Amino acid sequence: MGEGEGNRAYGHKPFKRSRSHFSDRITADGREGWPVEAGRYRLVVSRACPWASRALVSRRLLGLEGALSLAVADPLQDDRSWRFTLDPDGRDPVLGISHLAQAYEAREPGHPGGVSVPAVVDVPSGKLVTNDYQQLTLDLATEWTALHRPGAPDLYPEPLREEIDEVMEDVYRDVNNGVYRAGFATGQAEYEEACAGVFRRLEWLADRLAGQRYLVGDTITEADIRLFTTLVRFDPVYHGHFKCNRWKLAENAVLWAYARDLFQTPGFGDTVDFDHIKRHYYQVHTGINPTGIVPLGPDLDGWHTPHDRERLGGRPFGEGTPPGPVPAGEEVPAVPAAGA
């Protein structure tokens, strides 16, 4: 997942997420040696990982599927971390490697730190370019514009960036990362502080979203993407596995409707694989769930039920249009419709 995650030993130190070790940027002018170029790079993700899922959503909304190819790792890791066992012969068909670690090693032999997703790999050299999940999606929105599809939304509009950044910082600290601080806590006080912070922020978000359809402005922005990838995992894993159980997402009318609204928007729900999500968290985090048992619930039918958020107005894609169909080979199993 993002830096600092995985099947690690849990001591008595508070959970702290590591910084991305490789923070090169792929830019329109190539100022860091990595110019935006169709077909040159490969995005490596796990559909289990919320940080990687941001990139999946952004790539779909912006129509970058044809310019930035996709490699999906197995949700279950081995001692070398993310692996390509979902592909024929256990190798990524473009990079020709069995483990993402090989791209890290090609970039910096013996590099410190773990192997995280999302990662962008330079196809010609086989070297990792970046694992900076915070910057990656911002650059997809602002540096890759020449390769965006016609009608692509502006996910990081310049007039709103200060407000978007402020909201995202609060959401990251208390929600995106807060659930991990609660889940990986090794002391009662540490857990209670993190868990309380998660729900304080969720209640603040519910108040904010009660009267507006999206977090900032009247269109979908990067802020919505970053909140969605945590909310969609909340009831399946964070509520039970990470003990963030004061209430379920489905018990908060505003946030549940907001999350369903986004899930039903092309580019969001069609990137979500609940099977990968549940198997990864419950089977990889053996320090928290030593039996490796994956729970049967919760019932996922509700994601397709009406959300009634249209009454708040808003224009999901601004002056743009919805993305097209999911490309062949990138489909994920759909959540069963209610009553199915």
Is residue 8 within 8 Å of 183, Cβ to Cβ?
Answer: no
The rounded distance, in Å, linking the Cα atoms of 331 and 273 is 9
Residue appearing with tokens 């909304």: 61
Alpha helices in 238-330 (DSSP H): 253-263, 274-284
Q: What's the Cα-to-Cα distance from 7 to each of 1, 85, 286, 292, rounded to whole Å?
A: 10, 18, 7, 12
User: Tokens 């997809």 — which residue?
Assistant: 140
Residue type, 276: H
Q: Pick from 141, 136, 245, 233: which is nearest to 199 by CA?
A: 245
- Give the SS3 label for residue 119: strand
Amino acid at 118: P
Positions of E strands within the chain: 41-45, 69-72, 119-122, 127-130
- Strands of the sheet with 119-122, listed across from one edge: 69-72, 41-45, 119-122, 127-130
Cβ-Cβ contacts under 8 Å for 335 (sequence gap 6 or more)? 269, 272, 274, 300, 301, 303, 304
Q: Say which of 41, 49, 104, 258 is annotated catalytic.
A: 49
According to DSSP, residue 216 is labeled S
180 catalytic, yes or no? yes
Q: Which residues contact 89 (CB under 8 A, 6 or more apart)?
A: none
Residue 281 bears catalytic tag: no
- Report the Cα 262 to chain-centroid distance in Å: 14
The catalytically annotated residue of 41, 133, 180, 282 is 180
H-helix or E-strand spanning residue 45: strand 41-45
Task: Look up residue 256 and give its two tokens.
Answer: 């549940």
Instruction: Name the phi and psi angles at 21, rounded to 5.
Output: -75, -35
Active site residues: 49, 180
